[in-house]
C-alpha cells in the first residue's frame, strides 16, 4: 500500500465564513472535500470575531466551525500582521490593509496553507509584499 502525501492545509477568511453562513453550495462543497481529505482547516480568531454574532441564524456557520481549528492570535502573528499592513501601505501608497486580512495571510504562510476567500485581490497584494518562499494558493469562492 502506498502512502499518500498530506494535502495542504487551508485557511478560511471572513468571506468564506460568510459564504458558509449563507449556505453557498460552492463553499460547502469545498469544506466537505477538505474534511473528506482530512485537511487541516484553520480559522484565525480575528476572522471568527469579524463574522460571529452569536445568533441562532448562524447555525450553518456553527456547523462549519465544528470541523475547523481555531487559531489563536499570538503575539508573533499580531506583530507580523501589523508589519505586513505597514509594508503593504508603504509599497502601494494607500491606507493600511485590513489587519484581519493580514492575519489570514500570516497564518497561511506559517501553515503552508491555501486561502479560501471571496476577496483574492487584497490577499494577493498582502502575499506579494510578504514574499513568502511558498506562496499560499488563493481559492475564490
Q: What is the pLDDT of residue 110?
A: 97
Does residue 2 have a pLDDT over 50? no
pLDDT-derived band of residue 96, with 50, 70 and 90 as boundaries? low
28: domain CATH number is 3.40.50.1010
Q: What is the pLDDT of residue 1?
A: 46
pTM of the model: 0.92
Q: Calculate mean pLDDT across residues 86-108.
A: 84
Read off the pLDDT of residues 62-79 as tens digits, 9 standing for 90 and up.
999 999 999 999 999 999
Helices 59-66 and 14-21, packing angle to 10 deg? 120
pLDDT-derived band of residue 94, with 50, 70 and 90 as boundaries? low
Over the range 49-59, which residues count as b (16 or more CB within 10 Å of their CB) and which as e?
A: ebbeeeeeebe
Sign of CA dihedral 59, 15, 83, 111: positive
What residue numbers bound the domain in which 132 lies? 10-140
Q: What is the pLDDT of residue 7?
A: 82
Q: Is residue 4 part of a domain?
A: no
pLDDT-derived band of residue 88, with 50, 70 and 90 as boundaries? confident
10 Å Cβ neighbour count for 119? 15
- How many domains, in total, are found in the chain? 1
Q: Is residue 3 part of a domain?
A: no
Q: Is residue 78 part of a domain?
A: yes
Read off the pLDDT of residues 27-70 as tens digits, 9 standing for 90 and up.
999 999 999 999 999 999 999 999 999 999 999 999 999 999 99
Q: Is residue 1 part of a domain?
A: no
Q: What is the pLDDT of residue 93?
A: 65
Amino acid at each position: 500500500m502506498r502512502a499518500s502525501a498530506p494535502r495542504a492545509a487551508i485557511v478560511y477568511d471572513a468571506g468564506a465564513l460568510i459564504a458558509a453562513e449563507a449556505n453557498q453550495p460552492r463553499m460547502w462543497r469545498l469544506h466537505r472535500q477538505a474534511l473528506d481529505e482530512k485537511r487541516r482547516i484553520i480559522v484565525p480568531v480575528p476572522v471568527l470575531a469579524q463574522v460571529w454574532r452569536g445568533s441562532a441564524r448562524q447555525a450553518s456557520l456553527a456547523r462549519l466551525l465544528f470541523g475547523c481549528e481555531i487559531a489563536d492570535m499570538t503575539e508573533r502573528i499580531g506583530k507580523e500582521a501589523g508589519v505586513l499592513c505597514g509594508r503593504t501601505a508603504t509599497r502601494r501608497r494607500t491606507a493600511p490593509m485590513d489587519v484581519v486580512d493580514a492575519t489570514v495571510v500570516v497564518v497561511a504562510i506559517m501553515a503552508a496553507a491555501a486561502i479560501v476567500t471571496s476577496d483574492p485581490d487584497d490577499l494577493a497584494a498582502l502575499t506579494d509584499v510578504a514574499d513568502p518562499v511558498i506562496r499560499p494558493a488563493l481559492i475564490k469562492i
